[in-house]
Amino acid sequence: VRCEVVAVGSELLLGQIVDTNSSWMGEQLALAGIDSYFQVKVGDNQGRIVAAIRQALERSDAVICCGGLGPTQDDITREAIAEVLGVELESRPELVAVIRELFQARGRSMPANNLRQADVPVGAGFIPQTRGTAPGLICPLGGRVIYAVPGVPHEMRDMITRAVIPDLTARAGELATIRSRTLRTWGLGESAVAELVAPRLEALDAAGGNPTIAFLASGIEGIKVRVTAKGTGPDAARVAEALISSEETQLRALLGDTVFGIDDDNMEVAVSRLLVSAGATLGVAESLTGGLIAARLTAVAGASAWLRGGIVSYASEVKRELLGVSDGPVVSEEAVAEMASGAARALGATVGLAVTGVAGPTEQEGQPVGTVWIGLDLTRLGHGGAVTTRQLHLPGDRERIRQMTVISALDLLRRALLAAAEADS
Ligand code: ATP
Ligand code: MG
C-alpha cells in the first residue's frame, strides 16, 4: 500500500507554522511498513484541495488529509473530500450528540457552526473524536481510501495510531515495517565515504534494493550513513533488524574506525564508553577552545565516573604555572605535549588531553590562523602508552576553528583509546 499525506492549511504555505504533522505521519507510516513517496501541502482553498487529493489518488492507494476539519468557514476539507467522492455531506445524529455533550460537559453553549463537524460524506465512515470536537473520516473510493484527521497535533496523533494505521495495515493484508539505523563517521568527506561504500551500494542495487543506504553530511558532526530495511511477514520487525545488522557489519568492515557511533551516539559518548572499559579517567587542558571540550564531556550522563576535570589555560603564564609548560612558543608541539601531561598530573587523571592553537582573527607567534595542536598523554594507561601530538590546519572563522578543534581532539582521543584496547586484547 502506498500512502500520501496531504497537509491542509494556508498557514503552512505562509511559513507561519511548520508542518510537523507530516513528518510525524511519515515516521509512523515507515514504522508500519507503508510506502510513502509524496507529501503535499495545500492552502485552504476547496478547488486546490480537491486537485491535490485527486493527484494523490492517481499515484497512491491511500491519502491522509490533515487539518481543515474545524468549525470555521475556512475549514473545508470535508467539502473537498465529498467533491472528490462525488457525494453530498450528511449530518450524522450520533456525531451531533457527541458534539452537544462535549459542549454541555464544559458548560459552554454551542455555536451552530460546530454542527458542521457532524457532517460526513454519504457512504463514508468516521473516526470518533476522543479529544477535540472534530471526528476524523474514512472514505473508501473504489479500491482506494481517503482519510481525514484534524490538524491539532495531539488529536491527529491519536487518530493516526488508533484508527488510520490499523486500517491501512488491514488493507495492506501483510504485516510490514521499515526500520533504519545510522552509522556516524568522522574523519572522511562525503565523497570519500561514498567511495568506500560504493561496493555495497552496487551489491544492494543488484539484489533488489533492500536494505538501502543513504548519506547525510552533518557538518561538524561528520558524515552519517543510514541503512533502511523493510521487513514483511509476522516477524517483520525482526526481519528488518536482521537485514540492518548484517549490512552494518559489512559497512563497518569498509569504514573501519571512522565509525564512532550509532544513531544518537555522539563523539563524547563514544569516548566515554572507551574510557569506562579501559578503567581510565580523563583530564583536559584547553586553550583556544576555552572549555568547549569539557562542556561536551560533562554533557554525557555519568561523566563523573571518568572525567576528572578541565583547565582553561588561556594565558601563557597559566600554561606554565598550572601545567608546567616550558618557556618558548605556546602554539607548538612541545607546548601541547606538556599541556597534556600537565593536565593529567594536575587533575590526577589517567589520560591527559590538550589543545592549543590560533583561532583567529589574527595570527599568533608567527603561526597562521587555523594552526592547531592536539596532545595526548596515555603513559599512565600502561602497555607502551605514550605522549602523542597531532597538528591540524583548519579552515574557516574563529567559531568553526574552535568547534572543529573540539571534535578533532575527541576523535583523536577515541582512536587512541581504541588502538590501546586492541593492543590490550
Ligand atoms: P480546528 O478544529 O482547530 O480548526 P482543524 O482540523 O481545522 O482543527 P487546522 O485549523 O488546520 O485544523 O489546524 C489547527 C491547528 O493545528 C493549527 O493552528 C496548528 O497549530 C496545528 N496544525 C495544523 N496543521 C498542522 C501541521 N501540518 N503541522 C503542525 N501543526 C499543525
Ligand atoms: Mg481549523
Measure 151 CA to ligand 1 centroid, in angstroms: 3
The residue whose CB lies within 8 Å of the most ligand 1 atoms, and thus the one to mutate among 12, 17, 114, 147, is 17
The answer to whether the peptide bond before residue 121 is cis (omega within 30 degrees of 0) is no
Q: What is this structure's pTM?
A: 0.70
- Average predicted confidence (pLDDT) for the chain: 94
Ligand 1 neighbour 150 (Cβ under 6 A): yes
Residues within 5 Å of ion ligand 2, judged at the Cβ atom? 70, 75
Q: What is the model's pLDDT at position 423?
A: 85
Q: Atom 11, ligand 1: which residue's CA is nearest?
A: 67
Cβ–Cβ < 8 Å for 227, 247:
yes
Q: Does the CB atom of residue 66 touch ligand 1 within 6 A?
A: yes
Ligand 1 lined by 160 (C-beta under 6 Å):
no
Q: Ligand 2 centroid vs 38 CA: distance in angstroms?
A: 23
* C-alpha–C-alpha distance, residues 38 and 17, integer Å: 20
Q: b vs e for 297-323, b when ≥16 Cβ sit within 10 Å of the residue's Cβ?
A: beebeebeebbbbbbbbeebebbbebb
Above 80 in pLDDT, residue 414?
yes
| Interatomic CA distance for residues 246 and 97, integer angstroms | 55
CB atoms within 10 A of CB 234: 9
What is the per-residue pLDDT across 351-396, written as a single tens digit (0 to 9) for each?
Answer: 999 999 999 999 999 999 999 999 999 999 877 789 999 999 999 9
Predicted confidence at residue 178, as pLDDT, reads: 86
Residues 255-277 have pLDDT tens digits of: 999 999 999 999 999 999 999 99
Does the CB atom of residue 136 touch ligand 1 within 6 A?
no
Verify whether ligand 1 is closer than 6 Å to residue 40 (CB atom): no
Looking at residue 175, its pLDDT comes to 77
Which pLDDT score, from 0 to 100, does residue 254 have?
Answer: 97
